Structure 1
């Protein structure tokens, strides 16, 4: 159901999640950018990370964001001394200035062809989706990602094709079923798909590209600076808990249990001789030998972004990529022994304070609603009564209704009570489905009525309104056989 309070009609500009959506495109919200402009000069690594996180939310609007922010990201490396110098100050000011320009990403026009510019380095791959508008190539979206240790050893041709595979995967919703151009600074891509005997990896990638309709156009490096920045200027982050494919392979070779797994049908080796296990629905999972169980558990429980999650979430996160026989038991024992989690995590007990009593001061200060029924069906098809009581005057009214659905209750409340007596300040009800519905809450919100409800199984909290149904039933019983 649409909530009117969250809707804006008859406007060509909308604020949404820190962005301004206009008829021309999407740009950052100036009020949010003001927080970046006014950000004080960082004095610690923690403040540098906070600024990069704040500015990074709008990185899709800033070309060469990673390149500009590189002097700042250097300060966040482990064991790197915090030294704020001219280079860092220049990067800090330049980032704020770039965001102050409010760069615009245009909307995709599906009647016009798309252009994919992709590039790769030994550190990352990047791509830009763009279209020609008003005679100028304008960006629609940016994307980039880092390479793992195995991918960084690919040949330049394989890297360029990997960048294209990554680009079409990220922009599939724009490109699938449409003809588009691919710009690259590597000539080999133009004839790569026509090779008679390509390697197995190139064959698999080429097959993935067969479902797309595109032409490859070579552009010299001097005309690909915008996409080069996405692939060549990304900081590769490393840490004590990083697991490379080489480490896993070496540990598997020294593990006796992994050697036994190799003869089983559910296990196989990839082209790099790393052992995998066939998980649910055939999903390949890396087999973790015993000596790497500890580092894996640290990665998924102790790093800052994992936030010391519980047992179930940690197991689910690990099972997306890794497998070993005693995974459940090891995770349970590890988390139960985690001192940091024991100090910070508390139980789910909620101590509710005693609430203040509600005392009405005037008519329509506090009103109550309740539903009585089902009762014998009348000639008009009604079998419920919507009871209304004013807490100050004790004035009451009973309105017959055919059902107790939220739409009926909300309509009768507005048409039979509010239009006749006025808008109350507070509405007290029980926790019935009709009163707790989003429609009823939205009705009160629009009319600026404070919505209150009893606690569960505590009817005496609304004793005045709860007494009325008993009186009504007693009265009606004398007229119904």
Structure 2
């Protein structure tokens, strides 16, 4: 049975009955904070399976006979061994001493505690050495701090020990036929080897709390892995590769049967006991059929890659430089023995590491997929890459093609799609299954034979795609912006149905507590009660002596609708930080944005079919003809440049021009997709004078601009403090030279995901600048609204025939100079409460 222990001193026993009809849902941290602020209850629960027990030394065969090998801590200095850690320096080297690094108060407290622990264990001693290396802290995965010594300068002048480390593949070759495994991890292995007496001063570290020497081998020193490997090989020399392999401080024992493993494990533990080596029991595993070792999983079936390591390779982001390519190849190359033809597959990447090769990372290496289809109306195809649409095209059937049988018509659609795949390998999918066997058919008509010769010039494969005609193109019209990861259904059903019992521990202690920090307004109100000046002022307000101040029911003191801030330096810094430094304020700081808008005017894209997109203009000012025509209407197809010249009169009405256009153009060429009129190169040059060019790349992150509308507040922040940008969001595709497709969250699924470059701002990588959109109410056109709070003045605008009353409106949290004049009739209807006085 499952139990949930709820530790809260105010409750002694709570039983919750689960309901299978209730649907479980996940909420964000922002929404959780909002619900807690509204008064909803929150519980911190810890679920424990009482049937599982942590293994103990006494419960494990063979291991139970050697409890002294698994102490809780190292028992002082290690004994003198046949190998000592030496630090041989390059001749002529002088002692190096570096000033200690600056540390935060919390780091200093941790440093003092860890130094005291090392002194008590006897691993370090006070020093007067001329050498000295600074120390720093690195966070572990569990949040604790690891003490690191910066030995970089000492490493530069140390002679390298060339003792070889074993090859990983050689170690795994020894495991052939093994069925039972145990792995032993030494506790602080490096600290179980002494430093040679005359080399001890070279390991000195300088800290705020003194100067110390290491008596045991410290971590991160040159030659440390090789010296420790030398020691391990000497200790286990007799049994190496028979039933034990060692890599530095990791010891793997393998056997073909349980009986053999009993003997082998006893031998290794006896050696560790005699040589006074100690292991960390929590990191050791015994009597396993499968064990993780050096990034691989070893089992009776052989050696395979650790799935967690594969995930790291799969989720690796596309590299942006040759350095990142080298890092990726280093990780992937570690498992090249599991990839057939690894060097061939990785050759495009290795070429990028050559000095004379320019780093270009584009989509041309990805395979293309083409979906084609034909109908009695026309031919069409869709070009895709990795599930994303790159382009699509269609055309009407020519008169002679209307007589094609279905087989030839579907084949004509593939021929129509071939023009985009010349020189590239691609797969072509069609819903006409017989085309898959076109190359093996014995009887072909002349047209099919001609097209079959054409196929030989292309590297393509025809595949059958079952389904209704044009199903791919139809599906591509429905864009999904959200990628939802669902938890397993059985887990939700199990949690909904189970009985939950909340009880206190016998000692009444709490495992954890959930604390909600008060909002800034509550902090100000609390500080008002501690400020003597404001406390005195509050009494005067309550007695009616101060009329400009007001005291609200919830305990806040205001001066003319402005909150009184106490004389508290920390609180004032928090307020300034919230309004200037905080990313939610979007304050420009000391540097205003004086750059011209981005996004140069771009040339129009080339049409895909004739008379699909046209341009038109009027040539006027000509002498009148006998029919009184004084102008020429020029209509040009942008693809073929063929044109129609229609004689007209400049006083023709729009109805007359529309009738002429239908009779002369539409009846011959059909209705165009777009019409462009009065386009001139000088217009582009003039527009570009006040614009600048900017370019983003796929994978870049950008902020998205939003626009404030007045009358209703949406963001939870008001006025000048309203955010002007939200995001950041990742760029998925460059649609046009000045338009980009963004990956928007589900909250914005009603907004089109393609934006002009002028609406984007580059995002500099800083997690604190991320402005979530979870609680933002945006309109589909990326606007949000505000509301007026005060009528400051009235005025009447006098015209010749009428008078227009105006009011000066102050909008919420705007400065007085930002008030605007509005028509009284426009404000009175939606906001009557502003005119009650």
TM-score category (smaller protein): under 0.3
Larger radius of gyration: 2
Instruction: Select the structure with the greater relative contact order (CA < 8 A; seq sep ≥ 6).
Output: 2
